[in-house]
Structure 1
Amino acid sequence: MPAGRPVTEVGVAGSIHVSRVRPGAYRARVRVRDLDGVVRQVTATGTTKAAAERALRAKLVHRQTPTTGGTLSRETTLAQLTQEWVSFLRSEGRIEQSTVNEYQRVLDNVILPKLGSLRLRELSTSRLERFLVGLRSVSPSRQRKAKVVLSAALGMAVRHDVLMVNPVQQTSRIQRERSATRSLTTEELREVSKALDRWEATQRPGPQASTDMRDIVDLMLATGARIGEILALRWTEVDLDATPPRLTITGTIKTEPGKGTYRKPSPKTDASLRTLSLPDFGVAVLRRRQQEHSGNPLDAVFPTRNGTWQQVTNVERRWRQIRKDTSVQWVTPHTFRKTVATLIAEAVDAETAAQQLGHTSPDITREFYIAKPAIAADVAHVLAGLKRS
């Protein structure tokens, strides 16, 4: 029995046929299998065969194809799509709300003012390429964030069969400018200590500065933990009488609009949930704080004067004030984590450094956190064996 005509692929048009209707009038027609699986005939007319065919091709480009259902279509604007996408992310709850808030900020301030009124069928790769290239002169970071958000949002249109491909994925790869990872030297650590001394001794309106900033910095250096993890630390997670003394990272601090600052009962990733042994200077910091500070309802190691959780942004702002006009003005809180990672990698290995920092992969630690030595290891005695006789 002869095989039948092969089934047309979904979204594919057949061959165009043009016929003369009457003198000076031609009709072009084609069969298209739409995204809902139904084959439909599309026609267009023109005064010549070529004109009718051009009209039909233009009609196919701008035609709104029936789908398997849903509220999205090729006529949906980017603003409408992103609104539905953000709502989906919030209801799903898989992504941190603070991350969704950042996506919304990028949409409102960067993407939608330029592209929001365009319909999905108008978002060609070339148009998005021009948009993204234009952002690079403003800020490479803004360009990178815009591409991530655009790609994720248009991925929803692909999943709903509105777009066959994601046009963002065909744009040029964004080249990230990488600076060499830098960790603190012994002399630079002394400069950090001097900067903290000056800040604590400075006379300013209001209450005298506490030792909180010094203690936070010291605990970051003693553990390699993130700021949010240090600020979320509770006394029930500290065991100074164990052998060796240790603390356990079980949460982090978040601040969200409408929700305020709160302790999230899980750190950034599963790998971030970890128990860390403490060096002597870290134990000394925590013992002193136990003696000097009365209890608080949160059981927080670093509560505010009002007994609430400290905000990460406030600590980062205070650190910028401390380092201002000093030789360590380049140092960020992440520099303390990089210093810990570099020291552990040199003394042990990168895998151990990754475990200490709570990374899911040592590759992340190697690429972004471990400073490369200025001078390669002394292997002259090994190379001596290569001398030609």
Structure 2
Amino acid sequence: MRAGLRRDKKAVERDVPALVDFMLGTGMRIGEVLAVTWAALDLEAGTVEMRATVVRKKGVGLVLQPKPKSESGWRRLHLPPWLVLLLQTREHVENEWNVVFPSQLGKLRDRSNTNADLREAMDPIGFGWVTSHNFRKTAATLLDEAGLTVREIADQLGHKRVSMTLDTYFGRKQASPKVAELLRVIGE
């Protein structure tokens, strides 16, 4: 999928591959990603601080809202080395807000328009069912499969309650054959 996005000239012009990489590498919400500023990045330390989200304010337009979805939404995340490298080599496009992912016109990106850009780029490469939220779920799943605790994953995603992470991001799994092995002691 990532390779397909990089081959699509229109997707590249719209910065879709870099947005997808950032969402996969952090698990951040799309509004949070669109609000990341260069000042929120510490590429030496390999971190990003979630400081705002992009919202549409009635009568004003798009703004950086310095208020996360919840208190735990304020967080500093460690970036994977491949994403740090991508950001180090990324062109810094001057814009009023100093955001890392401005629109093609140098403005704040609208979440809805960005989701439309994603859909338009994903469909021709066979991933038309993918939404920005799938990248968040993918990051959560990879962290779960790597053995991180639900608390660690909830902290990464910015969830106030661990139950939110469990209920929303982790479906019930198939019964494990390990159970039969562990319960064999009853029959002995």
Q: Check whether TM > 0.5.
A: yes
Q: Residue 137 of structure 2 aligns with which residue?
A: 338
Unaligned runs of 5+ in 2: none
Q: Residue 128 of structure 2 aligns with which residue?
A: 329
CA contact (8 A) 1:350 1:365 kept: yes
The partner residue of 1:256 within 50, 54, 57 is 57
Question: Per-residue displacement from partner, 1:320-341 (whole Å, max 9, x unpaired)?
Answer: 1112255432221111111112
- Aligned: 1:376 with 2:184: no
Task: Work out the CA distance in 1 between the residues paired with 2:128 and 2:172.
Answer: 21
SS of residue in 1 equivalent to 2:13: coil
CA contact (8 A) 2:40 2:49 kept: yes
Identity of aligned residues (%): 34
Q: Residue 313 of structure 1 aligns with which residue?
A: 112
The partner residue of 2:103 within 268, 289, 304 is 304
Superposed, 1:202-241 pairs within 5 Å as: 209-210=12-13, 212-241=15-44
Q: Which amino acid aligns with 2:26?
A: T
- Aligned: 1:201 with 2:9: yes
Q: Which amino acid aligns with 2:2?
A: S
CA contact (8 A) 2:49 2:75 kept: yes
Q: Residue 83 of structure 2 aligns with which residue?
A: 282
Task: Describe the shift of the 1:251–1:271 C-alpha distance in structure 2 as closer, same or farther (beyond 3 A).
Answer: same
Unaligned runs of 5+ in 1: 1-191, 203-207
Question: Deviating runs (4+, > 6 A) in structure 1?
Answer: none
Task: Work out the CA distance in 2 between the residues paired with 1:233 and 1:357.
Answer: 15
Task: Work out the CA distance in 2 between the residues paired with 1:387 and 1:325.
Answer: 56
Task: Work out the CA distance in 2 between the residues paired with 1:362 and 1:300.
Answer: 30
SS of residue in 2 equivalent to 1:378: helix
Task: Work out the CA distance in 2 between the residues paired with 1:328 and 1:386.
Answer: 48
SS of residue in 2 equivalent to 1:255: strand
Task: Describe the shift of the 1:375–1:216 C-alpha distance in structure 2 as closer, same or farther (beyond 3 A).
Answer: farther
Task: Work out the CA distance in 1 between the residues paired with 2:121 and 2:171.
Answer: 24
SS of residue in 2 equivalent to 1:322: helix
**Per-residue deviation, 1:375:** 5.9
The partner residue of 2:156 within 356, 370, 381 is 356
**Per-residue deviation, 1:342:** 2.0
Task: Work out the CA distance in 2 between the residues paired with 1:221 and 1:247.
Answer: 14
SS of residue in 1 equivalent to 2:178: coil
TM-score, length-normalised on structure 2?
0.88
Task: Work out the CA distance in 2 between the residues paired with 1:377 and 1:296.
Answer: 55
Alignment: residue pair count: 187
RMSD: 2.1
Question: Per-residue displacement from partner, 1:209-245 (whole Å, max 9, x unpaired)?
Answer: 4262111111111111000000001111100112xx1
SS of residue in 1 equivalent to 2:113: helix
CA contact (8 A) 1:342 1:370 kept: yes
Q: Could you say which structure has the larger radius of gyration?
A: 1
